[in-house]
Homo-oligomer: A and B are copies of this chain.
């Protein structure tokens, strides 16, 4: 019949279930035929009746087999894949939504060279085993809803971490959100009225996000992003002309360029905000991975005109959706109301996991390790890509992204298509911009782009197979 593997990490129940599905899918067992009795199969496999009957029950719940009382279990479907309803959702048709949609679906690619996430293997120990233990023991705290603003324990530990990086926040200024994107969404709803202007850098991941939806009721204007922050003269001209309500920026590890805003520019941004009465939204989602740790705007400003937002999907696990905003006190209540209107409250399971993890002494150590690893991969990737003629702007070597300028003879569009066919995910620079200035650029994630499959692909495309094979051997 079939065998089970006791040394496998897969539960026996799951092994039995998979084996049965495999039999059905390969038409060895056909619709309407009777399965072995629970007793017969458990005896044959040397497992308990309970194990086999659990596997059968699960298959009944999945409509793959049925239980006929008194007669046993029978196979329902010729093809369980069909019954399981595997017609997949078509990604959104718009360019920007389609890109983000694919970027989030890990099943689509072998090498997510342009993704925004770290490899799962880097995060295996991010949530310490002791946290899982505490969680299982404290089931009660996980069976109550999370308060709308987030649990007091989580907001306290976040405020304390913010003070560590010199942002003087009280826990009453912290609103927990479903990721940093959600925090920005709440801020938009609180700060922007129809017809208002929002200023954002170009290029910018945040611009990509904003382009997603066509039917928003505020206007997006842009200022060029330079190596050390926005072009301040251009910014003042835009501010004078449009009087935006909000400026949206990333100070550390700007996505996609990887640059850091200099403290001097930070000061000038805040002076403009004061003079022209706008608010600053500082997205610091990658900040803890920066080796430079330049001063953040929220630290200079004291959360007076600055909304500081961040989250944990990058450094703990992309499987958690947990972010937060630290806001000027006057806006906290309205942010909480917006959150309640939008989704009532967050997942207290996710909140508890993050609270325990941040409270543990190992969290800082984990961040330090990640930061070092990112820098190592950054240097390596920049080196081998440079040898192939890929260029980089003159910002400092820091952070998760390489904003890679490919030689003019490379057709970016066909490069992306060929990568896609080879299950490699790369993102064209044009997605991040309103201009054509970045049409020869690609955003690369250094934690994925030293993968030999990606190296080989790029080397072949750039016509320099020999040089890279050597480099790969020396890895």
Chain A residues with a Cβ under 8 A of chain B: 9-11, 13-14, 54, 56-58, 60-63, 83-90, 92-94, 97, 100-101, 104-107, 117, 120, 123-124, 130, 132-134, 136-137, 139-140, 142-149, 152, 155-157, 159-160, 170-172, 177-179, 181-182, 185, 194, 209, 212-213, 217, 313, 317-322, 332-333, 336-338, 340-350, 352-353, 358-364
How far is it, in angstroms, between the C-alpha of A318 and the C-alpha of B84 when the chains are bound? Answer: 28
Q: What is the CB-to-nearest-CB distance from A186 to chain B, in angstroms, rounded to a whole number?
A: 9
With contacts A336-B89, A350-B350 taken as known, whether A137 is within 8 angstroms of B344 at the C-beta atoms is: no
Partner of A130, one of B13, B336, B352: B13
Residues from chain B with a CB closer than 8 A to the CB of A90 are: 172, 333
With contacts A101-B340, A178-B178 taken as known, whether A318 is within 8 angstroms of B144 at the C-beta atoms is: yes
How far is it, in angstroms, between the C-alpha of A61 and the C-alpha of B163 when the chains are bound? Answer: 12
24 A-B contact pairs sorted by A residue (CB < 8 Å): A11-B133, A13-B130, A61-B361, A62-B160, A85-B170, A86-B171, A87-B170, A87-B172, A89-B155, A89-B171, A90-B333, A106-B144, A106-B145, A107-B152, A145-B313, A145-B319, A178-B178, A182-B343, A194-B217, A212-B337, A212-B340, A319-B347, A321-B346, A350-B350
Residue of B nearest to A362 (CB): B57
Question: Do A363 and B185 touch across chains, with their CB atoms under 8 A apart?
Answer: no
How far is it, in angstroms, between the C-alpha of A397 and the C-alpha of B259 when the chains are bound? Answer: 64
Which residue among A84, A123, A344 has the maximum number of chain B CB atoms within 10 Å of its CB?
A344
Question: Do A178 and B336 touch across chains, with their CB atoms under 8 A apart?
Answer: no
How far is it, in angstroms, between the C-alpha of A343 and the C-alpha of B152 when the chains are bound? Answer: 22
Partner of A145, one of B136, B185, B318: B318
Q: What is the CB-to-nearest-CB distance from A165 to chain B, in angstroms, rounded to a whole number?
A: 13
Residues from chain B with a CB closer than 8 A to the CB of A146 are: 104, 319, 321
With contacts A134-B14, A157-B62, A349-B319 taken as known, whether A172 is within 8 angstroms of B88 at the C-beta atoms is: yes
Q: What is the CB-to-nearest-CB distance from A144 to chain B, in angstroms, rounded to a whole number?
A: 4
